Structure 1
């Protein structure tokens, strides 16, 4: 049976990785060659495209910082939880991190009744976070979901999956798509058939232009809910978009390789015009023919 055209093995590198690998050594070679011939190589600066978690603020614009363990246990966020601090890494950690190892150690000391009490406390915090989300206070809602995750015992995987998925929804509203994908992945790890988390991750992946990953998530949704309308539409739509993206990447790759080739061949009074690239219509592969005097 032939393989579906857009199913990609997890071991196969992405188009972007292939382009980077193909051009890396050529770029180095081109720079060295032109340096020998007196040419000054140009440099390209690569900026990071990874988004970072936005510093949380309250309704008055004050920066949200850490919340004490007692307040976290109570599920309360008071004025003491908001303070100004220039250390963004600390703010990020306080805002987003859930220390599951510490939760595991603490949970080992709880009785069954105490675990149930903690679960109930987390549920109250979640309901408060839901209200904040509905009011459009997404940063505050995300903080509340974090507090709930720090309170809910690890044994309640179904409840924790919902908390991670809800926090992902708040992050999507904050345009923190990469972080939302991470939270959705955590929710799916806890509950592999959680359709809402799969859908949120698919939507976030698609907005990050990770079309192959989004396509796989939509297919998983259909395995669980075959009549899911949005997933059905996406599975019909994405193969064409993936094909168009791949064609665009191939064109860009060939153009970049041609430019690099000209840089390398210049000292030999040659150019890529001396080489004719022909595509085999049967195999889809390419062959290269040398032309001594191109027109």
Structure 2
């Protein structure tokens, strides 16, 4: 006599439980980010100057190998920096990640790098919104213009420069910010990738692989780091699979112990149930075996 029921792949439970994306989403749903308090230009400049003073001291401590003290100073710089200055905060968090890497505190290094990347993501969104608004304003302005008046002097001087060929100072500034953003994103990504790889575990190794894939697509990675990226992309798939199989086996063991505790009063045990994996879906079915 046998019965057959379907069971979910325990690997899915492991991945869902450990997925850092889920943690971020849960925090986002329960903890709203503090509303950005805008300071006057004078106050902002003063706070940024104070933050940069702490940052300079932290950089000196880092260069001297005093990583714990450097982290403290970077944290002080973060504390006084206006929370809407995403780029400045991203730089500080990326530097904190570098300190934790030196201390081989992989989880903290990964967390700090993630915070930096989140700030850079907000900045990129802001730049995209500014570009969209500028394009819409330009299109509206062009629709309203019915004729172009050129003075006699301008006519003699030569043809007018088309509006779309003139250098837009605002766009130049945005392009500069985007280049700076990409530079820090590269640093934060490679630091998080290393931290995740060193910490190990299925979720971390899979995350490291994704980070290295992103780095492989970037055009500002140094030759040395590019070789490292390619090397890691060769070895990580096997490490990810090994960690997955190990954690899945551990989860099965825990489920078996739990099942035996529940079934024992009924004179049953998990040995009477056979789990068969479906090669197509990766899911499992359960067969009951009677004596």
TM over 0.5: yes
- Asked if the contact 2:14–2:247 (Cα under 8 Å) also holds between the matched residues in 1, the reply is no
Match of 1:272 in 2: 270
- Confirm whether residue 185 of structure 1 aligns to residue 114 of structure 2: yes
What per-residue deviation string (whole Å, max 9, x for no partner) do you get for residues 27-82 of structure 1? xxxxxxxxxxxxxxxxxxxxxxxxxxxxxxxxxxxxxxxxxxxxxxxxxxxxxxxx
**Does the CA-based 8 Å contact 1:157-1:191 persist in structure 2?**
yes
Q: For residue 173 of structure 1, what is the aligned residue in structure 2?
A: 102
Offset at residue 16 of structure 1 (A):
6.8
Q: 1:236 to 1:292 in 2, by over 3 A?
A: same
| Partner residue, 2:187 | 196
- 2:197 corresponding residue in structure 1: 206
Paired with 1:124 and 1:214, the residues of 2 have a C-alpha distance of: 33
Cα separation, partners in 2 of 1:263 and 1:133, compared to 1, 3 Å: same
What secondary structure, in the 3-state scheme, does the structure 1 residue paired with 2:41 have?
coil
How many corresponding residue pairs? 197
Q: TM-score, normalised by structure 1?
A: 0.55
Q: 1:216 aligns with which of 197, 210, 221?
A: 210
1:109 is matched with 40
Show the counterpart of 2:23. Answer: none
Root-mean-square deviation (CA), in Å?
3.2
Which residue is equivalent to 2:61? Answer: 132
Does 187-196 or 219-228 show the bigger shift?
A: 219-228
Distance 1:189 1:253 in 2: 32
Distance 1:182 1:289, change over 3 A: closer
Q: Give the C-alpha shift of residue 211 in structure 1.
A: 1.4
> TM-score, normalising length from structure 2?
0.56
Structure 2 stretches lacking a partner, 5+ long: 1-11, 19-32, 122-181
- For 1:154 and 1:222, how far apart are their aligned partners in 2? 31
CA pair 264-242 structure 1, distance change in 2 beyond 3 A: same
Higher relative contact order (CA 8 A, sep 6+): 2
Shift in CA distance, 13/215, structure 1 to aligned 2, threshold 3 Å: farther
Q: Which has the larger radius of gyration?
A: 2
Q: Match of 1:249?
A: 247
Structure 1, gaps ≥5 residues long:
1-11, 19-99
8 A contact 1:262–1:271 mirrored in 2: yes
Tell whether the 8 Å contact from 1:15 to 1:249 is kept in structure 2 after alignment. Answer: no
Question: Would the aligned equivalents of 1:202 and 1:213 in 2 still touch at CA under 8 Å?
Answer: yes
Contact 2:273–2:286 (CA under 8 A) maintained in structure 1? yes
Distance 1:14 1:218, change over 3 A: farther
